[in-house]
């Protein structure tokens, strides 16, 4: 049992943030600590081109605290990276030298290309993006990276960040139509330099990185329902974005913190929304997918997945399901058997014509099968409910909120109950009730076959005849417990899901 901890310190224009990532030898990683300070190192930079004395003092004090924190908490691997404000300031190198002296740690000033690459790594490692682009809207700058076959192909950066655009185009309490139009025209003119952009939009999707996109996604999500499992993977459609821009533009700057938008971001969110709108326009994307991960995760992935180049998970969904499964379970023997048997039973039922055999449903079922018991880490009683709680709260990068909700509910119903319509919020699609019930029924039967968690039953066969489903068990050993358990608990939900009585052959 060994843990490796890495602290990533991000010296951003607005805030300095330290995040500790822990990677465990059992195969999981997660964030385990985070501190930040709103330093505003970029204060006054626009006017003078230099970092000013007061922000420098705040910054050096914060860096000192962060360095103490790393020493005190025993984190020896520390990566400090600085972005646009420090990169752009005339006295940036001088500041970096002082920061290194104060902390005793090297400070790496990222080039535009390097910064864009970390955003790209975060986006591709937390979504299913294959082709399209990654957009990172910061305070000072905006980065766009073209993605083809999951590889970053071209990267551009423009000084179109939310703070900068607000100061230049929307400085007043009220934003006029004319001002917004001027901002749009400016962004459009800049983006024209990326000649590949329309092609990326035509055949790909856009992933948005950074707090502004997250807040806009959260605001769009809140208008629909409150019980969504976070904005990771959420699709913000062009229509919803247009609505948000209209609502934000009608309000004075101080009142733009709609539900989902943080108070400290209210004054710059309109500019960010207009920039985002213009990127969609220019490239022809119909939506943008939000991700929680960004620069700091990119730095972590380089460390965690390197020397692999590029440092990408082969399969983001599989990696994130496995990450949760190993976090909460010492051994995956039982859950992996449930994955295999559940897929086998589901396939057999599809072959027998008892359901459509939708591959997305199969993938969600397999994820739920690996995660169905993680709630045991909370308590044995109601562990199916705790599994739902853990999936919803820890999240599954690579899946959309709707898919995460379905996986969580499949795990929830692997043991007891029948999913009623009230469980299915507005995020679910037509047919999801039937998908959920089928998957839960399959999981429940398989869980009973594995009731003693011993792998006795190694294969299942299905024969649909005489209006019933006969379940054949292939086992090396006695199946007393499996048979008893299926007869006792597996049949009822199965009959409701597939309209057939289940008998064990």
Among positions 132-171, residues that touch a second copy (CB under 8 A) are none
The residue within the footprint of a second copy, chosen from 37, 281, 303, 347 (CB under 8 A), is 37
Residue number with CB closer to a second copy (83 or 103): 103
Query: Does the protein bind a second copy through residue 25 (CB under 8 A)?
Result: no
CA dist., res. 457 & res. 451, Å (int): 10
CA dist., res. 373 & res. 367, Å (int): 12
399 alpha carbon, distance to own chain's centre:
7
Query: Does the protein bind a second copy through residue 480 (CB under 8 A)?
Result: yes
Q: Cβ of residue 208: shortest distance to a second copy, in angstroms? A: 20
Query: Does the protein bind a second copy through residue 74 (CB under 8 A)?
Result: yes
Collapse the DSSP code of 326 into the 3-class scheme (helix H, G, I; strand E, B; otherwise coil) and give the result.
helix
Phi, psi of 364 (to 5 degrees): -65, -40
Dihedral-angle region of residue 27 (phi above 0 means left; psi in -120 to 50 means alpha; beta otherwise): left
Query: Does the protein bind a second copy through residue 476 (CB under 8 A)?
Result: no
Residue number with CB closer to a second copy (7 or 110): 7
Query: Does the protein bind a second copy through residue 454 (CB under 8 A)?
Result: yes
Report the candidate in 257, 260, 248, 214 with the shortest Cα–Cα distance to residue 234: 214
Q: What are the counts of helices (DSSP H) followed by strands (DSSP E) for the chain?
A: 20, 14
* Window contacting a second copy (CB under 8 A); options: 92-100, 133-141, 151-159, 483-491: 483-491
Among positions 171-230, residues that touch a second copy (CB under 8 A) are none
Residue number with CB closer to a second copy (18 or 248): 18
Q: Cβ of residue 41: shortest distance to a second copy, in angstroms? A: 17
* Window contacting a second copy (CB under 8 A); options: 29-37, 95-103, 276-284, 362-370: 29-37
Q: Cβ of residue 194: shortest distance to a second copy, in angstroms? A: 34
- Report CA Rg, the chain: 26
Residues 6 or more apart whose Cβ sits within 8 Å of residue 187: 160, 165, 274, 275, 278, 279, 282
Query: Does the protein bind a second copy through residue 73 (CB under 8 A)?
Result: yes
Q: Which stretches of 192-237 are DSSP H helices?
A: 197-202, 211-224
CA dist., res. 434 & res. 500, Å (int): 15
Q: What is the distance in angstroms between the CA of the first residue and the CA of the last residue of the chain? A: 44
Q: Cβ of residue 302: shortest distance to a second copy, in angstroms? A: 21
Q: Cβ of residue 393: shortest distance to a second copy, in angstroms? A: 6
Among positions 367-396, residues that touch a second copy (CB under 8 A) are 376-382, 386, 389-390, 393-394
Q: Cβ of residue 349: shortest distance to a second copy, in angstroms? A: 26
Phi, psi of 121 (to 5 degrees): -60, -40
Query: Does the protein bind a second copy through residue 337 (CB under 8 A)?
Result: no
Q: Cβ of residue 374: shortest distance to a second copy, in angstroms? A: 10
**Contact at 8 Å (CB) between 365 and 442?**
yes
Query: Does the protein bind a second copy through residue 416 (CB under 8 A)?
Result: no
Dihedral-angle region of residue 381 (phi above 0 means left; psi in -120 to 50 means alpha; beta otherwise): beta
**Contact at 8 Å (CB) between 493 and 418?**
yes
- The number of residues that bind a second copy (CB under 8 A) is 39
Residue position matching structure tokens 């019933």: 468
- Chain residues that interact with a second copy, rule: CB under 8 A: 30-35, 37, 61, 64-65, 68-69, 72-74, 376-382, 386, 389-390, 393-394, 451-454, 456, 477-478, 480-481, 484-485, 488
């Amino acid at each position: 049992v060994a843990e490796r901890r890495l602290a990533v310190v991000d010296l951003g224009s607005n805030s300095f943030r330290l995040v500790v990532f822990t990677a465990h030898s059992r195969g999981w990683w997660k964030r385990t600590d985070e501190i930040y300070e709103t330093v505003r190192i970029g204060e006054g930079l626009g006017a003078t081109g230099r970092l000013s004395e007061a922000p420098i003092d705040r910054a050096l004090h914060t860096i000192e605290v962060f360095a103490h924190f790393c020493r005190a908490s025993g984190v020896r691997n520390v990566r400090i990276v600085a972005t646009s404000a420090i990169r752009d300031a005339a006295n940036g190198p001088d500041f970096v030298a002082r920061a290194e002296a104060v902390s005793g740690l090297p400070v790496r000033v990222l080039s535009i290309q390097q910064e864009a690459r970390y955003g790209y790594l975060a986006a591709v490692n937390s979504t299913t993006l294959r082709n399209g682009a990654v957009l990172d809207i910061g305070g000072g700058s905006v980065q766009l990276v073209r993605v083809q076959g999951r590889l970053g192909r071209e990267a551009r950066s423009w000084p179109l960040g939310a703070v900068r655009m607000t100061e230049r185009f929307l400085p007043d309490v009220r934003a006029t139509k004319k001002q917004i139009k001027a901002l749009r025209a400016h962004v459009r003119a800049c983006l024209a330099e990326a000649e590949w952009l329309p092609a990326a939009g035509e055949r790909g999707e856009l992933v948005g990185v950074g707090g502004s996109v997250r807040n806009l996604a959260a605001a769009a999500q809140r208008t629909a329902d409150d019980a969504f499992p976070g904005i990771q993977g959420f699709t913000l459609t062009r229509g919803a974005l247009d609505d948000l821009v209209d609502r934000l533009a009608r309000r004075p700057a101080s009142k733009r913190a709609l539900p989902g938008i943080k108070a400290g971001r209210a004054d710059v969110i309109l500019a960010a929304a207009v920039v985002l709108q213009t990127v969609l326009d220019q490239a022809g994307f119909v939506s943008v997918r939000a991700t929680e991960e960004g620069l700091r995760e990119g730095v972590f992935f380089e460390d965690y997945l390197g020397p692999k180049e590029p440092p990408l998970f082969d399969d983001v969904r599989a990696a994130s399901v496995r990450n949760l499964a190993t976090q909460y379970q010492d051994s995956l023997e039982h859950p992996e058997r449930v994955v295999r048997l559940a897929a086998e039973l589901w396939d057999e039922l599809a072959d027998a014509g008892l359901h459509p055999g939708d591959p997305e449903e199969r993938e969600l079922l397999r994820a739920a099968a690996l995660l169905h018991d993680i709630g045991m880490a909370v308590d044995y009683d109601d562990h199916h409910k705790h599994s739902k709680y853990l999936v919803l709260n820890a999240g599954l990068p690579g899946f959309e909120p709707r898919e995460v909700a379905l996986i969580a509910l499949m795990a929830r119903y692997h043991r007891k109950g029948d999913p009623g319509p009230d469980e299915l919020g507005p995020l679910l699609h037509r047919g999801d009730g039937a998908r959920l019930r089928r998957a839960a029924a399959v999981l429940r039967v398989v869980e009973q076959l594995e009731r003693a968690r011993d792998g006795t039953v190694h294969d299942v066969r299905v024969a649909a005849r005489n209006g019933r489903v006969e379940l054949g068990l292939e086992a090396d050993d006695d199946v007393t417990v499996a048979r008893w358990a299926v007869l006792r608990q597996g049949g009822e939900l199965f009959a409701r899901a597939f309209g057939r009585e289940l008998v064990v052959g």
